[in-house]
Structure 1
Amino acid sequence: MGEKGIFAGLPWWVKWIAVPVLVLMVFGSLIMTALGFVIALLFKALLLVALVGGLIFVVRKFTSSSSSKGDW
């Protein structure tokens, strides 16, 4: 059964307003939990990249200033 069969003969606002509102009411907390998880994961990934970049910068700065051997 296709989408046209389910919503055939119903007003447009049922398809575009009532159904999304019902979906948000039923699955709202699940959607917010998933969104929060994804945002937290992206934030932690960016934090990891920044920390690794900072560590590499600090290590290269100290190794180049403390040793006269040059690049390794």
Structure 2
Amino acid sequence: MAAKGIFAGMPWWVKWVAVPVIALVVFGGVILTVVGFVVNLLFKALLFVALVGGLIYVVRKFISGASSSRTDW
């Protein structure tokens, strides 16, 4: 309710343009740090999943290839 009183006599662009721009200038570094951290974490998680999936694929290929060669004897 207090915010409505503060912006009561102001033009629309103060509320919808100027205040968000000021917030981005003040908190821009923090926002970029948090977004960068989240993107970095998602990239590492995706890389981990891809490496584990590749390892499982290689091990299964190796085991199935080794077991089929043993049955050929």
TM range, smaller chain = 0.7 to 0.9
The residue that corresponds to 2:37 in the other structure is 37
* Alignment RMSD (CA, Å): 1.4
* Shift of residue 9, structure 1, vs aligned partner: 1.0
Q: Which has the higher helix share?
A: 2
| 3-state secondary structure, aligned to 1:67 | helix
* Shift of residue 3, structure 1, vs aligned partner: 3.0
Letter in 1 for 2:53: G
Q: Which has the higher contact order (CA 8 A, sep 6+)?
A: 2
Deviation by residue 1:7-62 (Cα, 9 ceiling, x = unmatched): 11100010011101110111000000000000001111110110010000000000
Q: Distance in 1 between matches of 2:51 and 2:2?
A: 50
Letter in 2 for 1:26: V
Q: Distance in 1 between matches of 2:5 and 2:61?
A: 67
Counterparts of 1:17-36 in structure 2, within 5 Å, are: 17-36=17-36
> 5+ unaligned residues in a row in structure 1: which ranges?
none
* Shift of residue 6, structure 1, vs aligned partner: 2.1
Q: Distance in 1 between matches of 2:52 and 2:36?
A: 24
Number of residues of Structure 1 aligned to a counterpart in Structure 2: 69
The residue that corresponds to 1:15 in the other structure is 15
The residue that corresponds to 1:47 in the other structure is 47
The residue that corresponds to 1:3 in the other structure is 3
> 5+ unaligned residues in a row in structure 2: which ranges?
none
